[in-house]
Chains A and B, each alone.
Chain A
Amino acid sequence: MPNAAPFWLCHECGAQMRPVTVNGVPHCASCNGEFIEILDPDVNPDPFHELPPAPPTRPGTESSPSSPRPNQPFQHNPGQGGQSFLSSLFGNILGAAADHREGQGEGSQAPSGGRATNPSTNTGGSGGSGSGSGGPRTYSFNFPGGGRGQVVFGFGSGGGGGGMGMGPFGPTGQGTTTGGMDFESLFPGFGPPPRQGPGGPHPLGPGDPMDGAELLRALMAVMGEEGQGGPGMFFGPAGRANLGDYATSEQGFNDILERLMQAAGPQGPLPASDIVIDGLPRFKFDDEKKLAQSTYKDCPVCKDDFAVGDEVVRIPCAHIFHPDCLVPWLKQNGSCPVCRFSLVPEEENRSRRSENTGTAQANQEGGQSTMTNILNRLFGQAGGTTSNPTSPTDNESNPFTFGSAGEAARSPAPQASESSAAQADQAPAAGSTNDDRAEDPPSPTLPASGQPAAQDSQSPSEQDRPSMSTAIPEDYRARHRERERQRQHQEDSQG
């Protein structure tokens, strides 16, 4: 084994391979992903197996025993080359939890109190009288920038006595831990990365709001942007993050997980943009005659019969609703409740779908990575405009039009969700790179027209149509402006 080049494991496609190096960055030879891991036991002992509890000690701490509260969050030295963002992050999170525990009257916090509080003696999950069976777990990974990081998770899942070592910065195991946070409860389902082969089980780790590998990937995505310089830079030059970046309670953590889930999940339908929502034509049932002429007699959402005087809003598929019934739905799912006619630009859906195949090209062209794309999705930026390698096919895309031709052309749109789901089926283990239908939270940072505009490159006619927003019919935009004005007016008169 030592004489041959070691195999690497790709966390994106699950392949074991020898990587190809592109611009000095190792890529998966199979899927070209960058989240790969060397399997050489000399370099990186198999992370899927329990290791003896010997995480790396914090550089420099041995020589600074005067540190008053070594496990205090924020205490660590920022930007230490070998430390990964994750170990810092979890160290801080759990450090905060440890601080919390300290307030529970467990006696003095003196280093001599028998508890191993000095990071230099941190031995992962083996601290205290922990009966936890889990040792630390090591993951290492490459970053788009060429750096490489390592993170050690120590588990002490054995009941109340479990240690909770979290690598270099974590609080050490405390046999008396009772009210603190248990890592497994923070990350239900956190465990070894799924090792399911192709055609694996049907739920994509259904128990895991986000399983280990995926969580890492998502967090690394965050790092991919913030830490362009490589690992360990997430907290910026000062090595500090906002307090809001820390989760100090389980609820807080659940919130974060939920946000990540929503952002990276495959089941997030895309909301319709404000322009489209505002721009949908509305009319009023002025009299009985109009009411009688209507094909649809009741609102499909509230099931109330339409009455004279009701205002209704119409989707291009001709289904009508009370505005108050339809708008909240469109803000979370831009499709007709009745027939699933999609109000989300096909281009937007498609560009997400193409991220998979586009990653390789993007990596070579602009150095943009899947991680960055995930990140962009997480934070609602118009994802990967430079890396979106779809220009050759853009001309085929359906621009966002509502004309009769556009409607005909868009008829496949309602099937978008099905086809996307089907696609996800083909790679059950591929994780978040496959999550092409991630939901952008309707973030206020998104200008109403921004997203479609940034995604679109050309309309078929290539006239002066630089952005998709211009493909939205003028009457839609006019109605949107009018409604904006009304809202503003209302606010003014109320304030």
Chain B
Amino acid sequence: MSGLSTKRLMKELADIQSKGTPEGIILLSADSMEEWVFLISVLGEETIYKGETFALRMKFGNRYPIDVPEVTFLANEQYQPPLHPHVYSNGHICASILGNEWSPVLNAVAICITMQSMLASNKKKERPEGNDRYVRTAPSNPKLTRWHYDDDTV
């Protein structure tokens, strides 16, 4: 399995290097086949995130792409997770494709695009309800959280 994971990621990396990433998405680091970080910004004048850049970290297990990678926005001195009703202040993201809608057909760039469009469609900068409670008790790996998806508007 780990063979498949590495091979697949190498392929994605080669793809990124040869064809580039979509606008607003930059591969910041891919030092190993275990953890990549992308920079994401939302394009256009309309967005409430104009001028902001976010760092999206993906951790790939050795069952990738069968298993969804662990995806969070970085929350550190340098980067803050976006203020978004589906993004908790610890960087955890409530998005169905990172849970039960994951498919091995998806890839790292596809996740970035989804996150970018999730941000682009948002109109209100706010944290999810219950953010504080969640952040206080959340497991470090968001995949251990049981998400409940109810909102496909943003």
Q: Are B145 and A209 in contact (CB under 8 A)?
A: yes
Which residues of B, 112-154, contact A by the 8 Å Cβ criterion?
A: 128-130, 133-139, 144-151
Interfacial chain B residues near A170, Cβ < 8 Å: none
A203→B4 contact, CB < 8 A: no
- Please give the distance in Å from B62's CB to the nearest CB on chain A: 12
A-B contact pairs, 23 of them (CB 8 A): A202-B85, A202-B94, A202-B148, A202-B151, A204-B146, A206-B94, A206-B128, A208-B137, A209-B144, A258-B144, A266-B146, A269-B100, A301-B105, A304-B7, A324-B4, A329-B104, A338-B103, A338-B105, A340-B103, A417-B100, A421-B149, A424-B150, A428-B148
**Closest B-chain residue to A189, C-beta based?**
B137
A413 at interface by CB-CB < 8 Å: no
A265 engages B146 (CB within 8 Å): yes
- A-B pairs with the 7 shortest C-beta distances? A204-B148, A207-B134, A201-B129, A267-B100, A188-B137, A425-B150, A189-B137
User: Would A207 and B66 count as touching, CB distance under 8 A?
Assistant: no
**Residues of chain B lying within 8 A (CB to CB) of residue A300:** 104-105
Interface set of A (CB-CB < 8 Å, partner B): 184, 188-189, 201-210, 254, 258, 261, 265-269, 300-304, 324-325, 328-329, 332, 337-338, 340, 417, 421, 424-425, 428
Contact A302 B7 (CB under 8 A): yes
Q: Which residue of A lies closest to B7 (CB)?
A: A302
Q: Is the CB of B150 within 8 A of A207?
A: no
The reply to whether A188 and B130 contact each other, CB–CB distance below 8 Å, is: no
Q: Is B63 interfacial (CB-CB < 8 Å)?
A: yes
Complex CA–CA separation, A258 to B5 (angstroms): 24
Name the residue on A nearest B149 (C-beta). A421
CB distance from B66 to the nearest CB of A (A): 5
Q: Is there contact, CB below 8 Å, between B8 and A302?
A: yes
Complex interface: chain B residues within 8 A of A184 (CB): 137
Whether A206 contacts B145 by the Cβ 8 Å rule is yes
New contact pairs (18) apart from A202-B151, A205-B130, A421-B100, CB-CB < 8 Å: A184-B137, A188-B138, A203-B128, A203-B129, A205-B146, A206-B88, A206-B145, A254-B144, A258-B144, A267-B100, A267-B146, A302-B7, A303-B8, A303-B107, A329-B66, A329-B104, A337-B104, A417-B100
CA distance A258 to B145 in the complex (A): 9
Residue of B nearest to A202 (CB): B150
Q: Which residues of A contact B63 (CB under 8 A)?
A: 328
Interface assignment of B50: CB less than 8 Å from any CB of chain A: no
Min distance, Cβ A175 to any Cβ of chain B, angstroms: 24
The interface of chain B, by Cβ under 8 A from chain A, is 1, 4, 7-8, 11-12, 63, 65-66, 85, 88, 92, 94, 96, 99-101, 103-105, 107, 128-130, 133-139, 144-151
In angstroms, how far is the closest chain A Cβ from the Cβ of B47? Answer: 22
* Chain A contacts for B150, CB-based, 8 A: 202, 421, 424-425, 428
CB-based contact A267/B147 at 8 Å: yes
In the bound complex, how far is the Cα of B104 from the Cα of A284, in angstroms?
Answer: 22
Does A424 contact B148, Cβ atoms closer than 8 Å? yes
Taking CB atoms, residues of chain B closer than 8 Å to A328 are: 1, 63, 66
* Residues of chain A lying within 8 A (CB to CB) of residue B138: 188, 206-207
Residues of A within 8 A of B7 (CB): 302, 304
Please, how many angstroms separate the alpha-carbon atoms of A393 and B61 in the complex?
A: 43
With CB as the reference atom, state the residue of chain A lying closest to B101: A417
Known A-B contacts A203-B128, A338-B103; the reply to A325 vs B144 at CB < 8 A is no
A338 to B4, CA, bound (A): 18
Task: Determine the chain B residues whose CB is within 8 A of the CB of A325 once the complex forms.
Answer: 4, 104
In the bound complex, what is the Cα–Cα distance between A304 and B15 (angstroms)?
A: 12
> CB distance A206 to B130 under 8 Å?
yes
A421 touching B135, Cβ below 8 Å: no
- Contact between chains at B137 and A207 (CB < 8 Å): yes
Contacts A210-B146, A268-B100 known; A202 to B129 CB distance under 8 Å?
Answer: yes
A332 touches B66 (CB 8 A): yes
